[in-house]
Amino acid sequence: MLLRCARRACRSGACEVRVTHPSALPAALGRNLATSSRRWLVTGAAGFIGSHLIEALLRADQHVVALDNFSTGHRRNLDLVTAGLTREQRARFEFIEGDIRDLATCARACAGVDVVLHQAALGSVPRSLADPLATHDSNVNGFLNMLVAARDAKVSRFVYAASSSTYGDSPALPKVEDVIGKPLSPYAVTKYVNELYADVFGRCYGLACVGLRYFNVFGARQDPEGAYAAVIPRWARALLLHETVRINGDGETSRDFCYVDNAVQANLLAALTERADAVNTVYNVAAHRQTSLNQLFDAMRGELALRFPRIAAAQAQYQDFRPGDVRHSLADITRAQTLLGYAPTHDVNQGLAQAIDWYVSQFATEATS
């Protein structure tokens, strides 16, 4: 079960941790899921967003097939999900350890499935710059395998993780789905190719596809380790463990940080919509709020200082701007609001409060040592 630490100052240097349930789905989505039990395939299920998707679906008494090869996902994420389920819910869960780069594995996973939520990919702009071949193999070849398998299995809906990196060097703000620039990294190229392939499979084969351009999704279970860790978990861990927080550039780079519950909502809305004009297109998934890295650091330091007062004195170090990154990012979410009924439940501050609680629960012992 997901551990969430109460928002209170820590006593005697230790944080009291209490167990609560993860955020509930919006009422309308819950009612829709309750009307019938579908069979869902979630790829990348042991990863950050994938594990939240399978948790939401299993708690809604859906049948879930999960596919992952553990190249970037973790078994502990699956354990956290299944530990909080009833016996009946666990019985509706099937896990396949396999790789989307193998077409036979994709076909096996798609057999009898109603909806695919495709999250599996090699993420990270820096990783793609270091190893463009591996990124292409997973993100393009693997994606095409999944499309072919879904088409052959006559899947009713194929929802996939697209990326805000597709906007490339376009300076326009806010980002509107139909206005993109030149890609700035191999990763961005692969995610745009995904959109092109999905569009072709929709027009040529009748596969109903929906792409979700994620904007800096964050939350519990996001990995703080490694060279390609996202900024929020990496900074949270560094602050808790008395390590230096390093900011790329001058800190005025901005992002539209999106809490993971918002991404889960968008996936389910895209999967369940019955509007013909809402499929075979792409949507921005974000909170429509611009936050600079300096503002983010101040907010995270303030949240953590409520539990560990000494963190209030922490200072960041600045380093060179990272190649392949854009300067500013802010999403226009009008299309998702209008066609899908998307309504973010968490802004960046609300999301940070919940996400940081989880990181405290993971690193509290080390933080007080």
pLDDT tens digits along 75-128: 999 999 999 999 999 999 999 999 999 999 999 999 999 999 999 999 888 999
What are the structural domains, with CATH classification, of the chain?
35-364 (3.40.50.720)
What mean pLDDT is reported for the chain? 91
- What does the pLDDT read at residue 100? 99
Coil/strand/helix, residue 203: helix
Active site residue 187: yes
Is pLDDT of 364 > 70?
A: no
Which residues, in sequence order, are CB contacts of 45 under 8 Å at separation 6+? 51, 53, 54, 64, 66, 67, 68, 73, 78, 95, 119
Question: Which tokens hold the place of 352?
Answer: 């940070």
Model confidence band, residue 27 (pLDDT cutoffs 50, 70, 90): confident
Give CA angle at 226 (223, 231), nearest 5°. 60
Q: Is the dihedral of CA 278, 280, 282, 285 positive or negative?
A: positive
174 preceded by a cis bond (ω within 30 of 0): yes
Model confidence band, residue 131 (pLDDT cutoffs 50, 70, 90): very high
Distance CA 45, CA 98 (A): 11
Specify which residues 284 forms β-bridges with.
213
Place of tokens 């009422």: 27
Is pLDDT of 300 > 80?
A: yes
Place of tokens 């990348």: 44
Pick the catalytic residue from 187, 197, 214, 342. 187
Model confidence band, residue 336 (pLDDT cutoffs 50, 70, 90): very high
Is pLDDT of 227 > 80?
A: no
Question: Which tokens hold the place of 180?
Answer: 């993109």
Asked if 72 and 122 touch (Cβ cutoff 8 Å), the reply is: yes
Neighbour-count burial for 126-154, b at 16+ CB within 10 Å, e otherwise:
ebbbeeeeebbbbbbebbbbbbbbbbebe
Which residues, in sequence order, are CB contacts of 306 under 8 Å at separation 6+? 7, 8, 9
- What does the pLDDT read at residue 31? 83
Model confidence band, residue 13 (pLDDT cutoffs 50, 70, 90): very low
Residue ranges of E strands in 189-238? 209-214, 217-218
**DSSP assignment, residue 254?**
E
- What does the pLDDT read at residue 298? 96
Model confidence band, residue 267 (pLDDT cutoffs 50, 70, 90): very high
